[in-house]
Amino acid sequence: MVESSYWKRFNKRVSRRTLLGGSAALALGAASAALVGCNGGTNGNGGNGDTSGAPSPAAAGTPRLGGHITLGRGVASLGIDPHVDLTGLDIDALVYSYLYSWRTGTEEIVLNNLAEKFEQPDEEHLEFIFTLRPGVKIHPGGPGAGEEMTSEDCVASFERRGTALTAPDKRFPHRIERYETPDPYTFKFVMKRPFVPAVREMANATWAIVPKKVIDANPNGLSQVAFGSGPFKLEEFRGQEKIVLRKHEDYFLKPRPWLDSMTNIVITENSSLLAAFKGGQHDVNGALLSKSNADDLKSDDNFIIIRTPSFFYPVIHLKMREPFENIKVREAINLALNRDEIINVIQQGEGEYNPPIQWAQTKWALPQAEVRAFYKHDPDRARALLAEADLPNGFSAKMKLPKLTGPSIVGDIAALVKDQLGRVGINIELDEVELGAFISSTLLPGNFHMAFFPNLPYDEPDRPLAFYHSKGVTGNGNWTNYSNKELDQLVDEQSEEFDEVKRKDIILKAQRLILAQHGPQLTLTGGYNYQARWNYVHFGTELTGEEPPKDAGPFGADIWVDK
């Protein structure tokens, strides 16, 4: 089998058991990072971007024990079950252990968590063998308190995550044939078919390793309780108001974490949230920052500002029934959309066009020039296509979207889209649905005619493509009822192609086919994220782009304050 440079790098790094650095799970201070990517650049385990104003590790000084930080939070957390709830993943990343972390920029695993060794002895990459680190202990106060995490905990978590109703992708766990636990520190599974994204997938924030005893003791779910083995333990959870985490005193990297505690304060009004940060009530900003907000903060030496490309990409989902079954109608919608206006009005001139795979995945996304040439804004041609589709007077449709009391970007873009489509006779009624109900009762079951929702900020190309597969991301069917055998074949092929050059060719071909179909998802534009914190809060090298030290811990373990 020909191996890609990715897998060669991967195997070389793992065989040396080198710790390559920390992961920036989900940007602290914003549940919206987990949900819609407003303040986080990745899908959970990476942080590489422009770090203007960020001090180097040397300048940051030596970590100090003790201290507390307060983080602003713009979106309430509906729950903190990592396998079920999507609005608490930033908390989960601090409370639970994961097999390993991930470094997005270099596409490498980081063996600084539960697993200390990873092997794939077979040429087809079907066997996954993890040697677990001894001494990773469960938080006090709950089931299994003080006991070591074992391979049985890994099996229980994988089985639970693979069958969770709201799990964002089940294609990987559906390919697992069997699990093996030859001893407490060896976790093995064997796949039926290769799946290239598997290694990246397991570092996703939804793949937390929850102790089996905790799972067994909570048959009704873990939305309001958490007992993991991560650097912090849950002290108080009031997802609409406040979430308090306390240091895990028996963490395997002790004396880390350096902090004694951290508190998330929920303020869903963005200007009030930003004012609280600027006024010193919050140490880490949770408000959605525009470019002008960030520029204003940069003028004050008390703040550190980080700018990263946004993996968040808003999408219009179209149900494949009349009138959207007609490709002329879908093309008319595409032509009516003015993506430059979205960039200028919503993203303050900082934005790029998103192909099916968002622009920030520069290795895999279609070239920007090609995408911009395709997505022409032509309202006259849009009206003509509607007439050709026997809709000379346009049509009316209801577009559902999540109701967010915090970040307004989703509602703002939806309102602009409504206005743009209205200019060619497509009259859209916006129907806001409470967030939890939108995910469980609208999006996942496909209970919509049109829906507007930002796809999670993925940094691996398979997941964005899987939305267009007839089996969808769950493996049981997509929520738009779209089916294209040629595209299905391409999506399947890329997921099993380990040669990076060949895989990229397949992925580009699939995207061009999707563009020509004008749906069933119409991707809009993506910009940049701005994150801010006071300069006495240090994140190690997780969000600075620097090469981390070999002993860097998982996200959260290396945060410290010098006041």
Q: Kindly report, residue by residue over 233-276, the tens digit of the pLDDT.
A: 999 999 999 999 999 999 999 999 999 999 999 999 999 999 99
Say which DSSP state 547 is in.
Answer: P
pLDDT greater than 80 at residue 332: yes
For residue 293, the surrounding DSSP H or E stretch is: helix 291-298
Residue 11's CB: how many other CB atoms inside 10 A? 15
pLDDT greater than 70 at residue 292: yes
Identify the CA nearest to 451 among candidates 501, 520, 513, 500: 520
Average pLDDT, stretch 37-56?
33
Return the pLDDT at 227.
97
Who wins on pLDDT, 437 or 48? 437
Residue 311 pLDDT level (bands cut at 50, 70, 90):
confident
Task: Please report where in the chains the tokens 């909570």 appear, as a residue.
Answer: 218
Range scoring the smallest mean pLDDT among 94-98, 104-108, 112-116, 388-392: 104-108
pLDDT greater than 70 at residue 57: no
How high is the mean pLDDT of the chain? 86
Identify the CA nearest to 172 among candidates 459, 478, 444, 473: 473
Residue 171 pLDDT level (bands cut at 50, 70, 90):
confident
| Dihedral sign of CA atoms 386, 389, 391, 394 in order | negative
Average pLDDT, stretch 296-311?
92
Return the pLDDT at 54.
34
Q: Rounded distance, CA 461 to CA 458, Å? A: 8
Average pLDDT, stretch 458-482?
88
Return the pLDDT at 19.
27
**pLDDT cut 70: percent of the chain above it:** 87
Return the pLDDT at 61.
72
Residue 32 pLDDT level (bands cut at 50, 70, 90):
very low
Identify the CA nearest to 29 among candidates 16, 19, 38: 38
pLDDT greater than 90 at residue 475: no
Identify the CA nearest to 426 among candidates 434, 417, 436: 417
Return the pLDDT at 97.
98
At 121-167, the pLDDT tens digits run 998 999 999 999 999 999 999 999 999 999 999 999 999 999 887 77
Average pLDDT, stretch 509-534?
95
Return the pLDDT at 118.
97
Identify the CA nearest to 24 among candidates 5, 46, 3, 50: 46
Return the pLDDT at 548.
56
Residue 549 pLDDT level (bands cut at 50, 70, 90):
low
pLDDT greater than 70 at residue 407: no
Domains and CATH numbers, the chain: 5-309+528-561 (3.40.190.10), 313-526 (3.10.105.10)
**Tokens for 509?**
């071909």
Return the pLDDT at 436.
81
Return the pLDDT at 8.
46
pLDDT greater than 60 at residue 48: no
Residue 14 pLDDT level (bands cut at 50, 70, 90):
very low
Burial state string for 35-73 with b = 16 or more CB within 10 A and e = fewer than 16: bbbbbbbbbbbbbbbebebbeebeebeebeeebebbbbb
Count Cα atoms within 13 angstroms, Cβ side, for 327: 6
pLDDT greater than 50 at residue 36: no
pLDDT greater than 50 at residue 22: no
Who wins on pLDDT, 277 or 170? 277
Residue 307's CB: how many other CB atoms inside 10 A? 21
pLDDT greater than 70 at residue 16: no
Q: Peptide bond before 231: cis, by omega within 30 degrees of 0?
A: no
At 349-397, the pLDDT tens digits run 999 999 999 999 999 999 999 999 999 999 999 999 999 999 999 999 9
pLDDT greater than 80 at residue 346: yes
Q: Are 144 and 229 in contact (CB under 8 A)?
A: no
